[in-house]
């Protein structure tokens, strides 16, 4: 489809995108995380350990992670996210967080999820 400044055309393009997203998520498990500090810090907290046990991304059975930062919603394939997060374990981005700092997670730059 080529560019056109026309509502009917825009509607058609939007409907195609809706179908693509619907097909992408059809039958998939999605883990949704709302990060209240991400807009301020530019990072999302991706938990992998809590109270002495693997948790979060280390235990999820989801196909996609969905991050909600105010009015921004980002879907990312879980396996690809794990590949990005793993090398950060044990670095300065590996921090305590969550309820009473009982969880370990990675402060991951939100902009790395948005091409």
- Whether 51 is covered by a domain: the verdict is yes
Tokens of 7: 């509502």
- Whether 74 is covered by a domain: the verdict is yes
- Whether 19 is covered by a domain: the verdict is no
Q: Which domain holds residue 89?
A: 30-113
Long-range contacts of 77-82 (CB under 8 A, 24+ apart): 78/31, 81/46, 81/57, 81/113, 82/57
pLDDT at 110: 93
- Whether 5 is covered by a domain: the verdict is no
Q: Taking 50 as the threshold, does the pLDDT of residue 1 lie above it?
A: no
Q: Taking 80 as the threshold, does the pLDDT of residue 9 lie above it?
A: no
- Whether 7 is covered by a domain: the verdict is no
Tokens of 80: 């690809």
- Whether 15 is covered by a domain: the verdict is no
Digit-coded pLDDT (tens) for 61-82: 999 999 999 999 999 999 999 9
pLDDT at 49: 96
Digit-coded pLDDT (tens) for 13-64: 788 888 888 888 899 999 999 999 999 999 999 999 999 999 999 999 999 9
Q: How many domains does the chain have?
A: 1
Strands 30-34 and 64-69: parallel
- Whether 3 is covered by a domain: the verdict is no
Taking the alpha carbons of 62, 100, 52, 40 in that order, is the dihedral positive or negative? positive
Per the CB < 8 A criterion, the answer to whether 85 and 106 are in contact is yes
- Whether 8 is covered by a domain: the verdict is no
């Amino acid at each position: 489809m080529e560019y056109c400044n026309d509502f009917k055309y825009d509607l058609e393009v939007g409907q195609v995108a809706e179908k693509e997203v619907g097909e992408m998520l059809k039958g998939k498990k999605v883990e949704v995380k709302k990060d209240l500090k991400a807009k301020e810090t530019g990072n999302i907290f991706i938990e992998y350990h809590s109270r002495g046990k693997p948790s979060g991304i280390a235990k999820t059975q989801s196909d996609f992670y969905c991050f909600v930062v105010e009015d921004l919603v980002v879907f990312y394939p879980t396996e690809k996210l794990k590949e990005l997060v793993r090398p950060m374990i044990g670095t300065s981005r590996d921090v305590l967080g969550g309820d009473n700092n009982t969880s370990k997670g990675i402060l991951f730059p939100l902009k790395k999820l948005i091409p």
